[in-house]
Structure 1
Amino acid sequence: MRGKILLPVFAVLNSFVNAQEKYVLTTGPTARSQCAATTAVSPTFSFSTFAYTQSETYRYAISVPSPTSTETFAAPFSALSSLIPFVATTTWGSWDPNATATATDFHDKYGSASWSALWENARPFLNNFTSTGIYSTTVSPTPVPSAELILPPRDYFGPTDCYNFPDGFIYGVAGSAAQIEGATSHEGKAPSAADIIAKDQPSQDYVTDENYYLYKQDIERLAAIGVKYYSFSIPWTRILPFAVPGSPVNQQAIDHYNDLIDFVIAKGMLPVVTLIHFDTPLQFYAANVSSLYDKPSVGYNNGAYQNETFVDAFVHYGKIVMTHFADRVPLWVTFNEAFTYCQNGHAVDSVIKAHAQLYHFYHEQINGTGKVGMKYSNLFGVPLDPLNTSHVEAANDYNNFQVAIFGNPIHLGTDYPAVYKERVPDYVPLTKEDLDYIKGTADFWGTDAYTIAVISPLSASESPCLNTPSNIFYPECVQQSWGGKFGWNVGYASQTYVYITPTYLRHYLSYLWNTYRSPIIVTEFGFPVVNEAALPLAQQLFDSPRSQYYLSFMSEILKSIWEDGVQVLGVIAWSFVDNWEFGDFTPHYGMQTVDRTTQERHYKKSLFDFVDFIQART
């Protein structure tokens, strides 16, 4: 049904909101419809012999079995290498700002001296820089002790559904390179936007979780507890330190991710690869890296996607990665949360066209049998008062701006929404030929569905906004909150903006499915418990609020599948381990803790509950 639509997007959205966002007014206590009527008038009291009984759980997590055969999704690199121009491979070593020896191969524009210069040029931004942690080489994995795999006690109130997940349902956990890998200037990697983001943050930490050297142990731990899919990003600046077509490929990076993918598969899991996760190479910012912080006219940060050389360079990088790894990777994500890092209309144009080129390359030249899509960062907008026309219109505008600028051309083959073209002066018009080429270039809709936004119109004092980039509400030009009409917050507050909002998730999935007609993967969802970082370890591990978040979301996903007819292909939880959240380590999104001194990991209750919930329903 790709690209087919029965009603205009606005009509579908309006009818959806009007159909489902109604207040149900009731009086009296909460009904207990699940309970049969009790016939006894009074209880009966009696004595019996008391004895202690075992009341704690004593069950072990079920590990993922090692595969008896290996599925492939494309030909190996040896058969695909002719699809890309010849590129030389080399290695560069690691950069140390305190090193006494310096490279002298200035005659080679891609040599060690030029590579070191990339870091030297970035060095003014890297205060107190160090990328060296405990490890400097890959750590051999060790089996997880059985004592760590005993399931924790269940929460008293838990899911009451009786549904199962469909065959082949995807379930896994995620992390991104900049947030977990560390080793940021090791083995040939060049600086990226993520390194610059780190410089002004409370934790200028370029070591993070040292996953670059501990990846085998991390994968071992996930397989032991029963996780099926492992989602990670591959940094462009590791594969191509100089970023541009014609520059050498980093052989150490190719070897590293070959080994990582092979180990994932050997442990009975499947890999999910994201090509860019907020880590654009610095070369695309030219001499103006500080523009990363400029107020954009579309998203929230400057990912340099609007650079005139970006599309060709990104597509070249994507082709290199896909040809090397497509035989073993079933699921590809081109851009992580593209809206967040689109600076302007030219950036949006670059993202859509680069994504479409890689989709066609994967399916038509590689002949890959896996899936290719994009992860969207949009928070679904619900009207503060669904009975107020102006609130519904504001929510429509918000969703069209956040969602439809990518969804229309990629999933429907239709033009940008009017609200986007009206508010972004440098938007790039799409021709009929563009739309024909872009239409249907996604095998799934990837949504990072953390929460929702409650939308209402701006007040008179907050306007005008529509053509005023300096207005703090520009470009959506609506009021966003997490409070409902009657004064209650929409859910339990977290360390950051995230709230537990499972009931709106079902609305959101129905909106996406019925508007864009694409299967859905919830590619990120997670919950940083308030002040978790300050708690003793034992209390961090017993993270019931996070468990409630995951289990309530997945209960609603089951209802979406079975009651609403929505095709949800899978869920990928963020994050499998506490990580650097592009600022510091205080927001704990992880399903495992990390000791920053020893790098030791501990499972949290939520990871057991997440996996057990799915395994009990498959």
Structure 2
Amino acid sequence: MPFTTTVSPTPVASTNAETADMNYLLYKQDIARLAAIGVPYYSFSISWTRILPFGNESTPVNQPGLSHYDDVINTCLQYGVTPIVTLQHADPPLNLSLADPAYPNAFLYYAKQVMSHYGDRVQHWVTQNEPNIAFGIYTGTPYSAATNIMMGHAKVYHWYKEVLKGTGTITLKFANNLALPLDSTNPDDVRAASRYQDYILGIMGNAIFLGEQYPAEILNTTNLNLTALTPTQLSYLNGTADFWIAEFGFNPWMEWSKPVVYQLYDLERTLYYQEFLRETLKAIYEDGVNVIGALGWDNDEFSSYYQQYGMQHVNRTNGQFTRSFKRSMFDYVDFFHQFISA
């Protein structure tokens, strides 16, 4: 059983998080829809416990689980859609804490089953989704798990590159929440913003992308019980990501309470994406940033499925989970056609 099965939306919405949008049964339709509108990539995650029911080496590999994702990946390729696979998206096995010393090797064992099986068809891998915010009161995971999580990621990276001889790219997704000082002339505000960035990005970004120690601000915070990384650990972690994913999000205020026709004509989301993509082009052509792509992305919202953050609307009341493109999907694709050459 994965962790997400036990995370319950509000009672009025659902009793648990088991039924989202029925992609497990409707993936062929979903992939065909992406291809039809001209989206060339499909980013999805694989459920750890669908492959290894108990999460570690003591459990047999679930062949039907492997076969399911075989068909998902093959369907992508059939439609000319490139798959991007995330190994863990907020659903570690319920019996395996992120702080468990057994976690890094268990994650590596799971990754071996997946990457060796699909590696001939998948060239873009993400080890973990938003591990940099997996701590604190909300999740109950201690900050001391940060080293554990990073070592699990690094073990997978080194195995993929050095043992499997994988030729694809591999990274992890950070939640890139940005903090700015309320008053840039106030030293306390500036320090608060810097401290926030240390906790969001520095806690894992320092070691993986820079080969540097945890931020001093974090190490000096009492009661976190976070131990400094050793030189050996820093060397092992450094450079274990082929690129940085800058992940941000947006949802029109109270969109869920509006009539469906309003949700489908989501001008606010269109304007957000267009402005974001314009600034991305500036980063490329004015600042020289090596941007390799941009994906529209939805997320599993833990509080309620009334919120629909993506560029498609799902009807959860008609028994068929009917999908409908929102205006933002058409405008998003049109932006690439207008400004980006293939």
Structure-2 separation of matches of 1:550 and 1:199: 27
The residue number in structure 2 matching 1:129 is: none
Structure-2 separation of matches of 1:221 and 1:328: 21
The residue number in structure 1 matching 2:14 is: 203
The residue number in structure 2 matching 1:383 is: 181
Q: Following superposition of structure 1 onto structure 2, how do residues 459-498 of structure 1 map, counting pairs within 5 Å?
A: none
Q: Following superposition of structure 1 onto structure 2, how do residues 310-329 of structure 1 map, counting pairs within 5 Å?
A: 310-329=103-122
Question: Per the alignment, do residues 566 and 199 of structure 1 end up closer, same or farther by CA in structure 2, a change over 3 Å counting?
Answer: closer
Count of equivalent residues: 330
Residue 569 of structure 1 aligns to a residue in which SS?
coil
1:606 equivalent to 2:337? Answer no
Q: CA deviation at 1:275?
A: 1.0
The residue number in structure 1 matching 2:148 is: 350
Structure-2 separation of matches of 1:199 and 1:591: 21
> Which of 534, 540, 563 is the aligned partner of 2:286?
563
The residue number in structure 2 matching 1:422 is: 220
Q: CA deviation at 1:200?
A: 5.7
Q: CA deviation at 1:393?
A: 2.2
Structure-2 separation of matches of 1:377 and 1:609: 25
Structure-1 separation of matches of 2:293 and 2:32: 22
Deviations 1:4-55 (A, max 9, x none): xxxxxxxxxxxxxxxxxxxxxxxxxxxxxxxxxxxxxxxxxxxxxxxxxxxx
The residue number in structure 2 matching 1:615 is: 337
Deviations 1:224-266 (A, max 9, x none): 0011110111010100001111310000010000110011011
Deviations 1:115-136 (A, max 9, x none): xxxxxxxxxxxxxxxxxxxxxx
Question: Per the alignment, do residues 199 and 592 of structure 1 end up closer, same or farther by CA in structure 2, a change over 3 Å counting?
Answer: closer
The residue number in structure 2 matching 1:337 is: 130
Structure-1 separation of matches of 2:108 and 2:163: 14
Structure-1 separation of matches of 2:239 and 2:166: 16
Deviations 1:435-457 (A, max 9, x none): 1111111001123223xxxxxxx
Residue 559 of structure 1 aligns to a residue in which SS?
helix
The residue number in structure 1 matching 2:138 is: none
Structure-2 separation of matches of 1:417 and 1:279: 28
Residue 333 of structure 1 aligns to a residue in which SS?
strand
Residue 289 of structure 2 aligns to a residue in which SS?
coil
Based on CA coordinates, which of the two structures has the bigger radius of gyration? 1
Q: Following superposition of structure 1 onto structure 2, how do residues 448-527 of structure 1 map, counting pairs within 5 Å?
A: 448-450=247-249, 527=250
Structure-2 separation of matches of 1:346 and 1:317: 22
Residue identity matched to 2:14: S
Q: CA deviation at 1:532?
A: 2.6
- Contact (CA 8 Å) 1:244, 1:313: kept in 2 or not? yes
Residue identity matched to 1:585: Y
What is the identity percentage for the equivalent residue pairs of Structure 1 and Structure 2?
42
Q: CA deviation at 1:582?
A: 1.4
The residue number in structure 1 matching 2:309 is: 589
Residue identity matched to 1:433: T
Deviations 1:196-216 (A, max 9, x none): 102764322522211101000
Residue identity matched to 2:307: P
- Contact (CA 8 Å) 2:9, 2:304: kept in 1 or not? no
Question: Per the alignment, do residues 536 and 401 of structure 1 end up closer, same or farther by CA in structure 2, a change over 3 Å counting?
Answer: closer
Q: CA deviation at 1:558?
A: 0.6
Q: CA deviation at 1:434?
A: 1.2
1:411 equivalent to 2:209? Answer yes
Structure-1 separation of matches of 2:311 and 2:262: 13
Residue 246 of structure 2 aligns to a residue in which SS?
strand
The residue number in structure 1 matching 2:100 is: 307
- Contact (CA 8 Å) 1:529, 1:588: kept in 2 or not? no
The residue number in structure 1 matching 2:251 is: 528
Residue identity matched to 1:265: L
- Contact (CA 8 Å) 2:39, 2:81: kept in 1 or not? yes
Structure-1 separation of matches of 2:257 and 2:240: 45
Q: Following superposition of structure 1 onto structure 2, how do residues 78-97 of structure 1 map, counting pairs within 5 Å?
A: none
- Contact (CA 8 Å) 2:174, 2:247: kept in 1 or not? yes
Structure-2 separation of matches of 1:421 and 1:535: 45
Structure-2 separation of matches of 1:318 and 1:426: 29
Structure-1 separation of matches of 2:292 and 2:15: 37
1:439 equivalent to 2:238? Answer yes
- Contact (CA 8 Å) 1:413, 1:435: kept in 2 or not? yes
Residue identity matched to 1:543: D
List alignment gaps of at least 5 residues for structure 1.
1-190, 285-303, 451-526
Residue identity matched to 2:308: H
Output the aligned Cα RMSD.
1.6
The residue number in structure 2 matching 1:238 is: 50
- Contact (CA 8 Å) 1:203, 1:583: kept in 2 or not? no
Question: Per the alignment, do residues 603 and 364 of structure 1 end up closer, same or farther by CA in structure 2, a change over 3 Å counting?
Answer: same
The residue number in structure 2 matching 1:288 is: none
1:400 equivalent to 2:194? Answer no
Structure-2 separation of matches of 1:314 and 1:200: 31
The residue number in structure 2 matching 1:90 is: none
Residue identity matched to 2:330: F
The residue number in structure 2 matching 1:194 is: 4
List alignment gaps of at least 5 residues for structure 2.
136-140
Deviations 1:448-490 (A, max 9, x none): 223xxxxxxxxxxxxxxxxxxxxxxxxxxxxxxxxxxxxxxxx
Residue identity matched to 1:428: T
Residue 180 of structure 2 aligns to a residue in which SS?
strand
Q: CA deviation at 1:590?
A: 1.9
Structure-2 separation of matches of 1:229 and 1:199: 29
The residue number in structure 2 matching 1:371 is: 169
Residue 376 of structure 1 aligns to a residue in which SS?
strand
Length-normalised TM-score, structure 1: 0.52
1:361 equivalent to 2:147? Answer no
Q: CA deviation at 1:533?
A: 2.8
Q: Following superposition of structure 1 onto structure 2, how do residues 570-581 of structure 1 map, counting pairs within 5 Å?
A: 570-575=293-298, 581=301
The residue number in structure 2 matching 1:455 is: none
> Which of 523, 535, 539 is the aligned partner of 2:262?
539
